[in-house]
A and B are shown apart, each in its own frame.
Chain A
Amino acid sequence: MLRFLTRRVLGALVILLIISAVTFFLFYAIPADPARLACGKVCPPETLEQARHNLGIDQPLMVQFVSWLAGIFVGRDYGGLGHCPAPCLGFSFVNRAPVFETIIDRMPVTIALTIGAAVIFLIFGVATGIVAALRQGKPLDKIASVSSLIGASVQIYFVGTLAMYFFVYQIQVFRQPKYIPITEDPLGWFNGLLLPWLVLALIFTANYTRITRSTMVENLNEDYVRTARAKGMSGRSVVLRFALRGALTPVITIFGVDLGTLIGGAIITETTFGLQGIGRLAVRAVDYSDLPTLMATVLLAAGAIVVMNVIVDSLYAVIDPRVRLS
């Protein structure tokens, strides 16, 4: 198990390194004047000079990349702008602060949004999938099929905005979505995020229902399930302990992908509900041509996907011992 994990983690690190190199070269090598881009749209000449010097544009690209990479581990000094401590992902000339600080500041919003929605769509999706599989062809199954088709086809910028219009402005059962730190006001935190959670869950649940249903149907026809039934096990434990366990692998796969994507920035969701998370940060960075922030958000998003892949792989190994051998 330990060997398996080390191999996976090393592989993930290699992918992250390649992604950071690719993004670095794409962002700094292609534009005619990276300092101009990094400095932002409104750029006083002295900042531009500083940016040019601090990015080390005059140095070879490889040196630039290595010093950027080294900054992540040992920090970096930005001349007159100040010091950027250890996990230094760059210095934003627009915000006049190390990028890492801004990211840490925005992270809780995205994490809270993701985790809350994930809890709802995972539980609800798997539960409806099981029920639909057990009631194949019955009305309940059909309702689940139709709603998962609609859920899979609907877009968050449409349904989210509609939900805002009806539930927030017309009948006013929800509050205007807003992030309030949980430490400050737990109830406000919950109320402020409830609508985005529900809308995200509406869209994501569909996939989980569909996948759980189809793998459950498959598993319920397996010999080992029939054997367990024949031996007189109760219906519930057959379903939960045998059939569901087999159905979990594909569910975990897509759950990992979804979590990774959402943590890396639920851009459209955050834009729709006006939540200031990582996704919004990235969009704003594009608007202001804030290159260092942009690069950091791209890396963070890639990191989230890669880390989730490692976690999913390890979970496979826990659920299914055969995986460890391959």
Chain B
Amino acid sequence: MTTPTSTEDAIDATSVTETSGAVGRSPGQLMWLRFKRDRTGVISAIIVIFFFLVALLAPVISMVYGKDPYTLYGQDIPGLLNDYGYPIQPNGGISSEYWFGLEPSLGRDVFTQLVYGIRTSLGIAVAATLITTTLGIVVGIVAGYAGGRTDYFVGRLIDLTLSFPQTIFIIAFTPVVESLLVPSDEETPVWLRAVTLTIMLSAFGWAGLARLLRGYVLSMREREYVEAARVTGASPARIVFKELLPNLWTPILIQSTLLLPAMVTAEAGLSFLGVGMGELVPDWGRMFLRATQVYQNDITYLIFPGVALLIFVVAFNLLGDSVRDAFDPKIKR
């Protein structure tokens, strides 16, 4: 992943401060300075921000564009879909009216579906990432700081979680959870599916981060500054929040930047397998499910969500690398 620009620009902290005079800079400012010089990182950051803006502004985009993801345009307006339900115009029905074409058979607008789909998927992924990261931080710090028996049992729990077959378990367990929460004669509410997915993704995601942070805390616990704090009578809470946590933000930030795209693709994968959001909610992953059913006749419907997902994940992975470089110039790729 090394590009010529990023190696040239990976200037270490000292040279940055030297060239800009004897100004005192916090580690955060130094990180920001290094990050700004990394052209790949900045471009990826812009792409990532663009996706988040699309997700946030979905209703605005839909209003300006003049269509919504729910109306069955192809069925309501004659001349758009043929007798088999496929768009009549070439390339999946792309036109000035329907920018990304029409969904086969249902005839919904692909552009707004994708925009709203990104909104759904990113929403679930962000929620799952936040919960996962919080859980990972809490468990990791508790295990590492408490040590002893707590550490042993938490360690075994992490082992156990990592041995669970995640995908298969989630698809298997989702119907069980829903049969518990919803009486069998009622339709599953939309928000419940989203909550179930978020919980499921978080339930398996925390273990990796917890294991990593436990290791960090274990090595930091014995350092002089922690010992000094303890001797001067600092409470465990103060030690955790003021002494340990500030040193952990780097690995936490790096891990969560890597976690988010993984959550997006996991959510998309689950929707592809049919355990994601229901038909009524536009969803990035479910577009793939529909696309793989019709791709032999309408490949365009696969291309738009696919390329969008690829760009998003590549940009996010590159951003993760740049963040790591900016935080820790010692690690050369």
Smallest beta-carbon distance A38→chain B, Å:
11
Question: Given that A145-B2, A149-B1, A286-B172 are known contacts, is A154 also in contact with B310, CB under 8 Å in the complex?
Answer: yes
Q: Is the CB of B176 within 8 A of A27?
A: yes
Q: Is the CB of B179 within 8 A of A298?
A: no
Question: Given that A19-B163, A19-B164, A153-B310 are known contacts, is A30 also in contact with B176, CB under 8 Å in the complex?
Answer: yes
Smallest beta-carbon distance A140→chain B, Å:
13
Alpha-carbon distance between A282 and B170 when the two chains are bound, in angstroms: 11
Question: Given that A153-B314, A158-B310, A165-B295 are known contacts, is A283 also in contact with B274, CB under 8 Å in the complex?
Answer: yes
- Identify 13 residue pairs between A and B in the complex whose beta-carbon atoms are under 8 Å apart, listed by A's number: A23-B169, A146-B1, A149-B317, A153-B313, A158-B288, A161-B302, A165-B295, A165-B299, A264-B168, A297-B172, A301-B165, A301-B168, A309-B163
Q: Is the CB of B173 within 8 A of A26?
A: yes
Is the CB of A267 closer than 8 A to any CB of chain B?
Answer: yes
Q: Indicate which residue in B2, B176, B269, B313 contacts A157 across the interface (CB closer than 8 Å).
A: B269
Q: Is the CB of B306 within 8 A of A162?
A: yes
Is the CB of B268 closer than 8 A to any CB of chain A?
Answer: yes
The A276-293 residues at the B interface (CB cut-off 8 A) are 279, 282-283, 285-287, 289
Q: Is the CB of B160 within 8 A of A286?
A: no
Is the CB of A265 closer than 8 A to any CB of chain B?
Answer: yes
Is the CB of A94 closer than 8 A to any CB of chain B?
Answer: no
* Complex contacts, A141 vs chain B, CB 8 Å: 2
Smallest beta-carbon distance B205→chain A, Å:
15
Smallest beta-carbon distance A55→chain B, Å:
15
Q: Which residue of chain B is the closest to A160 with respect to CB atoms?
A: B292
Q: Is the CB of A32 within 8 A of B180?
A: yes
Interface string of B291-321 (1 = CB under 8 A from A): 1100110010010011001100110011000
Q: Is the CB of A157 within 8 A of B292?
A: yes
Q: Is the CB of A267 within 8 A of B1?
A: no
Alpha-carbon distance between A157 and B171 when the two chains are bound, in angstroms: 17
* Complex contacts, A148 vs chain B, CB 8 Å: 1
Interface string of A26-49 (1 = CB under 8 A from B): 110011100011000000000000
Q: A residues near B, CB below 8 A?
A: 15, 18-19, 23, 26-27, 30-32, 36-37, 137, 141-142, 145-146, 148-150, 152-155, 157-159, 161-162, 164-165, 169, 210, 261, 264-265, 267-268, 271-272, 279, 282-283, 285-287, 289, 294-295, 297-298, 301-302, 304-306, 309
Question: Given that A158-B309, A161-B292, A271-B273 are known contacts, is A302 also in contact with B163, CB under 8 Å in the complex?
Answer: yes
Alpha-carbon distance between A162 and B291 when the two chains are bound, in angstroms: 10
Smallest beta-carbon distance A280→chain B, Å:
10
* Complex contacts, A152 vs chain B, CB 8 Å: 317
A to B contact number (C-beta, < 8 Å):
135
Is the CB of B175 closer than 8 A to any CB of chain A?
Answer: yes
Question: Given that A30-B176, A31-B176, A267-B273 are known contacts, is A302 also in contact with B313, CB under 8 Å in the complex?
Answer: no
Q: Is the CB of B2 within 8 A of A15?
A: no
Q: B residues near A, CB below 8 A?
A: 1-3, 159-160, 163-165, 167-169, 171-177, 179-180, 184, 261, 265, 268-269, 272-275, 288, 291-292, 295-296, 299, 302, 305-306, 309-310, 313-314, 317-318
Smallest beta-carbon distance B303→chain A, Å:
8
Q: Which residue of chain B is the closest to A16 with respect to CB atoms?
A: B163
Alpha-carbon distance between A267 and B174 when the two chains are bound, in angstroms: 16
Q: What are the nearest 6 A-B pairs in CB distance? A: A301-B165, A158-B306, A153-B313, A153-B314, A294-B172, A264-B165
Q: Which residue of chain B is the closest to A15 with respect to CB atoms?
A: B163
Alpha-carbon distance between A283 and B291 when the two chains are bound, in angstroms: 18
Question: Given that A153-B317, A158-B310, A161-B291 are known contacts, is A137 also in contact with B172, CB under 8 Å in the complex?
Answer: no
Q: Which residue of chain B is the closest to A289 with respect to CB atoms?
A: B175
* Complex contacts, A305 vs chain B, CB 8 Å: 163, 165
Q: Indicate which residue in B165, B291, B306, B314 contacts A261 across the interface (CB closer than 8 Å).
A: B165
Q: Is the CB of A306 within 8 A of B175?
A: no
Alpha-carbon distance between A32 and B168 when the two chains are bound, in angstroms: 22
Q: Is the CB of B168 within 8 A of A297?
A: yes
Q: Is the CB of A298 within 8 A of B168?
A: yes
Alpha-carbon distance between A298 and B163 when the two chains are bound, in angstroms: 11
Alpha-carbon distance between A272 and B268 when the two chains are bound, in angstroms: 14
Smallest beta-carbon distance A209→chain B, Å:
11
Alpha-carbon distance between A153 and B175 when the two chains are bound, in angstroms: 29
